[in-house]
Amino acid sequence: MSTQSDRTTVRVFFALWPTAAEHMALAAWQHPLQHQCGGRAMHGETLHNTLVFIGEIEQSRLEALQLAAQEVSGESFELCFDAARYWGHNHIVYAAPVHVPQPLQQLAGALEQRLTRHRFKFDPREYKPHVTLLRNAHWTDVPLPEMPPVRWRVKDFALVQSMSQDGVASYRVLARFLLSPSEPLSGG
């Protein structure tokens, strides 16, 4: 490999990447919401929840990035998206969990900690779990209609490459990192 190709960069982020059934259930929210708010619907199979956004990184560091992510020990959990919301500052309509499960907050924190430890840079903004459904939408402060809750059984997280072609984003899952099975609830 030449020195030049060693400096090739890729755009990557860590995310919860759902199963086909899970993303289809959320994609079903898009049509009624688009009816209300207009905008452009994200392709159903690309719906995801960004955990940590890295951005451009040299390809040669991807292996080390994966090793850092492997150090994260998290527990699998259920994530229930039960609210459709709108951000006026970027015109995004998104699905959000009303209650953020503790293991999800811990996962995002643990991942950031391992990345910091290994000197990877990432966007340090506070983690706000959401799945972008519509772009360029327009809405007010009025609550969006209720949507049927969608449950994701989160058993792993993913390192994803983001590519943009003719202004259209496409994604590629580069690696998955398993979470340990969660403890069964006692006393049942």
Per-position x/- string for 48-77, each x denoting binding to ligand ATP as judged by CB under 6 A, each - no binding: --x--x------------------------
Which of 30, 162 has the CB closer to ligand ATP?
162
CA–CA separation, 23 and 25 (whole Å)? 5
Contact call for residue 89 and ligand ATP (CB under 6 A): no
The answer to whether residue 123 forms part of the interface with ligand ATP (CB under 6 A) is yes
Choose the binding region for ligand ATP from 1-9, 99-107, 144-152, 162-170 (rule: CB under 6 A).
162-170
- Cα Rg of the chain, angstroms: 17
String of b and e for 155-175 (b: at least 16 CB within 10 Å)?
A: bebbbbebeeeeeeeebeeeb
Among 89, 99, 119, 125, binds ligand ATP (CB under 6 A): 125
Using CB under 6 A as the binding rule, whether residue 11 contacts ligand ATP is answered as yes
Q: How far is the CB of 150 from ligand ATP (least distance, A)?
A: 17
Separation CA 107–CA 97 (nearest Å): 15
| Helical packing angle, 102-117 and 62-70, nearest 10° | 130
Helix (H) or strand (E) holding 165: strand 156-165
Q: Count residues contacting ligand ATP (CB under 6 A)?
A: 10
Interface residues toward ligand ATP, by CB under 6 A: 11, 13, 50, 53, 123, 125, 132, 162, 164, 169
